[in-house]
Amino acid sequence: MSTGTAGMLLKLIKFAAVCVAFIAGVSHAAAHGERAQEPYLRTRTVQFYDVHFSKTEVKVNERFELTGKFRLMQDWPDAVTPPDIVFVSSISPGPTIARIETYLNGWPARQSFARLELGRDYEFRMVLEGRTPGSSHIHPSISIKGSGPLVGPGQWVNISGEAHSFAFPIKTMTGLQIEDLQTFGLAHAVGWHLAWLAVAAAWLSFWLARPLILPRWLVLQKGREDLLISLRDTGAGIIVSAIVLVMVFGGYVRASAEYPYNVPLQSGLNRVAPLPASPAYAEIKVISATYDVPGRSMRLATQITNKGSEPLSIGELTTANIRFLNQSLPVAMANVDPSYPRDLIARTGLKLSSDTPINPGETREVRVEATDAVWELERLVSFLTDVDSKFGGLLLLYAPNGERVIAEMGGPIVPVFTELK
C-alpha cells in the first residue's frame, strides 16, 4: 500500500469516527433536554419522588399510567416565580403520546392550579396513550407561570404499531360520538379556508388586472384623485362586502344550529389542598457543603436530630431526580421502583460517616458523601458559578418497621479542588 493510499484510508477512518460520534451525540441529545436548565431550578424548586411508569412497552392506542409525588421546596429560589399558577402535564418529543386524564391529589387537572404551598407534597396521576411509533423520552412536568416547565425523571417508552391506526374517539355531552378527534371538523376547516381564499383571490384579481402603480401615480400628480375610484370599483367593493357579511353571519347561524351547546375554553384556576403533612420526625441542619470538582463528589457535614419514637437510618439522598442510595440498607434498595430510569441512580451510592441508626431524641453529626460522574453528566456542577450557589434535596430516612421519613435539606455550597480529609 502506497503512502498516499494509506493517508487517504486514515482520513476516511477519521471521518467515519467523527460521523459515528456525531450521530451518537445527536441521539443522546434527543432526550435529557432538562440538562440545559440551571441547577438551582432542578435542585431547589420541585423534587419528584415515587415516580412510576406502569409500562415502558406500549402499542399505538394502548394506555399507560405515570404516577408519582413531588415536594415544593421550602427554600424556593428568589429568582424563580413562586408556584402561584401551576399546570401539571407531561413532556415528550412532539406528539408521541396523547394525554387522556390528569389528576392532582385526586382532583381532575384539566386546568391550572393556584397557590400551591411551599414545603408540602402533592401526588399526581396521568393516563397517557401511545400515539406515534418509536422510542420517546417521557417526563412528568410541573409548569409554573413565569418560570416555565420543571421536569421530573424521564423514562424511555417504546411505542409500536402504525401511526395511521391511532384514533382518539370521544362522546360529547349531547351524545354525539366522534370517532377521531384529531380529524373531526377538518373538512369544514379546509372548506372555509378555501372559501375565504377564493374571495381574497377574486378581490386581488379585480385590482391586479388593472394598471396599478405608474398610471395611478400620474393621476395623483395631476390632482385628479376623483378618477382613482370609479363607480365600477365601488360596486365591486359593495358586492364583496356583502359576500363577506353573508359568509360570516351565515356560518354563525349554521354553526349555532348544528352545535347548539358550546363550552368555551376554561380560564379559571383550581385550588387543591396538599397531602397531609407528615410528622417532622427528623430535623436536618447542613453545617457545611462542598463539591470536590476533580472527585465529582458532594460532601455534606450535617446535624441530624431524631424527634420521633423509632430509630432512623439514612437511606437515600435525592436531588434533581438523581438518587444516591445507601446500598447497605435493604429497605432503601427495596424502595427503588423497577421502572425508575437507571441512568438517574448513582452507581456508587451514598457514603456515610456513621451508618448506625439514630436513636429517638439523639442529635448526631453525620458526614454524607455523594460521589458519581452523574453530577457532570447531568450538568449540575454549574451551580458553583452561580451568584446564588446553593443546593437542595430530600433526605430519606427509614424506621425499623419500614416507615419512611422525608426531610428537606440544603444550603450554600462551595467548590474545592483537593480532597478534604
- Please identify which residue in the block is written with the cell numbers 436513636: 359
Quick check: is 125 in a domain? yes
Decide: residue 282, CB within 10 A, 0-12 exposed, 13-18 middle, 19+ buried. Answer: buried
Q: Are both 319 and 228 inside the same structural domain?
A: no
Mutual orientation of helices 231-258 and 186-208 as an angle, nearest 10°? 180
CATH of the domain at 238: 1.10.287.710
Q: Are both 388 and 297 inside the same structural domain?
A: yes
pLDDT at 25: 45
Q: Are both 124 and 14 inside the same structural domain?
A: no
pLDDT at 130: 95
pLDDT at 268: 87
Ranges of beta strands (E only) in 145-252 are 148-151, 155-160, 170-171, 177-178
Percent of the chain whose predicted confidence (pLDDT) is above 90: 63
Q: Are both 18 and 89 inside the same structural domain?
A: no
Q: Are both 47 and 19 inside the same structural domain?
A: no
Q: Are both 90 and 193 inside the same structural domain?
A: no
Whether the predicted pLDDT of 3 surpasses 60: no
Pick the last residue of a domain from 108, 139, 173: 173
- Please identify which residue in the block is written with the cell numbers 441547577: 39
Q: Are both 107 and 72 inside the same structural domain?
A: yes
Better pLDDT: 47 or 262: 47
Pick the last residue of a domain from 146, 173, 200: 173
Quick check: is 421 in a domain? no
Q: Are both 194 and 157 inside the same structural domain?
A: no
CATH of the domain at 157: 2.60.120.570
Q: Which residues on neighbouring strands pair with residue 280, listed in sequence order?
A: none
Better pLDDT: 217 or 169: 169
Whole-model pTM over 0.85: no
Quick check: is 338 in a domain? yes
Quick check: is 266 in a domain? no
Mean pLDDT of all residues in 327-331: 94
| pLDDT band at residue 29 under the 50/70/90 scheme | very low
Q: Are both 20 and 115 inside the same structural domain?
A: no
Q: What's the whole-number average pLDDT of the chain?
A: 88
Q: Which domain holds residue 194?
A: 186-258
pLDDT at 400: 93
Q: Are both 317 and 382 inside the same structural domain?
A: yes
Q: Are both 154 and 55 inside the same structural domain?
A: yes
CATH of the domain at 314: 2.60.40.1580
Quick check: is 268 in a domain? no
Distance CA 114, CA 112 (A): 7
Pick the last residue of a domain from 173, 201, 236: 173
158-162, 207-211, 238-242, 291-295: least confident range: 207-211
Q: Are both 209 and 329 inside the same structural domain?
A: no
Count up the domains in the chain and report the number.
Answer: 4
Q: What is the pLDDT of residues 345-398, one digit of tens each?
A: 999 899 999 889 999 999 999 999 999 999 988 888 876 677 778 899 999 999
Quick check: is 179 in a domain? no
Distance CA 87, CA 147 (A): 12
Distance CA 360, CA 309 (A): 5
Whether the predicted pLDDT of 416 surpasses 80: yes
Quick check: is 320 in a domain? yes
pLDDT at 16: 58
